[in-house]
Amino acid sequence: VEQQSLTDQTTLNGAENGLTYVTFMDGNQGKMYSQLLNFAWRYGDRADEAVVRTVATQLINQTFHEDRLVPETDASVYQSDGIRLLPYADADPILTAKVALLQETPFDEELLAAFFLSRLSTEDKDLQLSPVEVAWAFAGLSALDVPVLAEMKRFAKAQTLSEEGQLAIAIGHLFAGDAEGARPIYETFLKQARHDLGYIWLEQKTDEDTTELTADLAILAAGLNESKDRDALMDYLNVHARGQTLVLLEQLISTKESLNFLKSGASEVSYILSGVTKKTQLKGGNSHTVAVSSDDLKKLNPRAEKGDVAVVTSYEKPLTTLPNLYKKISVSRRFLGPNGLPQTTFKEGDVVRVEIKY
């Protein structure tokens, strides 16, 4: 299986014998449609679940010109000054910061900013923020357009921050409009991350920490328009164990930031099959697949007529011809003769033992 962006220089590889399946996919904003639908259909009474439902539905209506009923989020249930995860719980500074990163929410932004500024300046030890909470407070204030970049830089320079704190500072730079200030931190973490089987993640001692840091890195990847990295990070979050944590807010923030760099409207692809030029419109994340022979593949001549199109080719190929095998997954077989030793020739009546190892 091979995926690439469709350009005038794109070359498609396929099966020498048998069929190759060529799939064209919407590479515009529509590629985020199914993700937004999943967020819009999210159920639950936690603050993150409620706000994700509302904001995702609003994004669908704004981006794809739909008229869906926007679920109401009763701000008074979750907001006193900061945001609390459940009614009657205490305000959570980190949760409040991540809600602020969504920017267009049902909550009072002036109250959110006042919450952070109050907590940053309080002398009440019970209300003082930890270093990582301070880092997130600066990120939240940046998203609320409060000018704290210089103060955030001084804080980061004076502190030895945890990995989460460093990522929060980078996100603060991003939302303060200082993308290049965020990039060195992002690149440092990307080098530390594990890259395997098309996934990227920041491996930690627990599933919860792994999930949360990977989600924070996905926000940075999206905001810095590192789309391949962002997709690999999000794919990891979608399929791997999360422990006892949820990262709905981070995933929606990443999706929302990605929309800023994608083209609007439907995309369109053309190709030649059996001498006939065909055109297909792709919208809302739709895809179109054709099965072609090796000769047809050479003449397919696919073109992105409108917008951005991704193309995936899938075909069967003997494992022994592949240059790079994934060594953690393998299957081997051998035949043992009557004497218990491996052999490849047998005579009629022999009892043959087949061993398969995987």
Burial class (CB in 10 A: 0-12, 13-18, 19+), 170: buried
- Quote the pLDDT of residue 285: 80
The predicted model gives 114-143 an average pLDDT of 94
**Cβ-count burial 76-107 (b if 16+ within 10 Å, e if not):** eebbebbbbbeeeeebbbbbbbbbbbbeebbb
Sign of CA dihedral 302, 306, 308, 312: negative
Q: Name the pLDDT band for 135 (thresholds 50, 70, 90).
A: very high
pLDDT of residue 348: 87
Q: Which two tokens stand for residue 233?
A: 């990070």
Place of tokens 């900061």: 82
Cα dihedral across residues 220, 142, 129, 115: positive or negative: negative
Contacts made by residues 114-117, CB under 8 angstroms, sequence distance 24+: 114/81, 115/81, 115/82, 115/91, 116/82, 116/140, 116/141, 116/144, 116/146, 117/141, 117/146
| pLDDT at res. 323 | 59
Q: Mean pLDDT across the stretch 231-249?
A: 89
Could you say which DSSP state residue 2 is in? E
* pLDDT tens readout for residues 269-286: 999 999 999 999 998 888
For the chain, the straight-line distance linking the first and the last C-alpha, in angstroms and rounded, comes to: 22
Which residue matches tokens 């159920």?
Answer: 43
pLDDT tens sequence across 152-180: 999 999 989 999 999 999 999 999 999 99
Position 244 confidence tier, pLDDT thresholds 50, 70, 90: confident
pLDDT value at residue 106: 92
What is the 3-state secondary structure of 12-56?
A: CCCCCCCCEEEEEEECCHHHHHHHHHHHHCCCCCCHHHHHHHHHH
pLDDT score of 66 more than 70: yes
pLDDT, one tens digit per residue, over 307-346 is: 999 999 998 876 666 556 556 667 788 888 888 888 888 8
Count other C-beta atoms under 10 Å from residue 184's C-beta: 11
- The CB density around residue 316, as the number of other CB atoms within 10 Å, is 9
Mean pLDDT of 99-112: 94
- 244 vs 85, 210, 212, 250, CA distance in Å? 15, 11, 11, 15
Residues 336, 355 contacting (CB under 8 angstroms): yes
The pLDDT mean for the chain works out to 91
The pLDDT value given to residue 3? 82
pLDDT recorded at residue 157 = 94
Spatial distance between the Cα atoms of 120 and 128, rounded to a whole number of angstroms? 7
> Token digits for 212?
């949360």
Q: Which residue has the higher pLDDT, 126 or 134?
A: 134
Average the pLDDT over each of 25-39, 234-248, 309-323, 333-347 and give the range with the smallest value. 309-323
Instruction: Quote the pLDDT of residue 322.
Output: 59
- Stronger pLDDT, 330 or 226, i.e. the higher one: 226
Burial 279-310 (b: 16+ CB within 10 A, else e): ebebbbbbebebebeeebbeebebbbebbbbb
SS3 117: helix
- Whole-angstrom Cα distance, residue 25 to residue 35? 15
State percent of the chain over pLDDT 90. 70
Asked if the model's pLDDT at residue 305 lies above 80, the reply is: yes
Residue 188 dihedral angles phi and psi, to the nearest 5°: -60, -45
Residue 195's pLDDT band (cuts 50, 70, 90)? very high
Predicted local confidence at residue 294, as pLDDT: 92
The model carries a pTM of 0.83
Q: Which residue has the higher pLDDT, 3 or 10?
A: 10
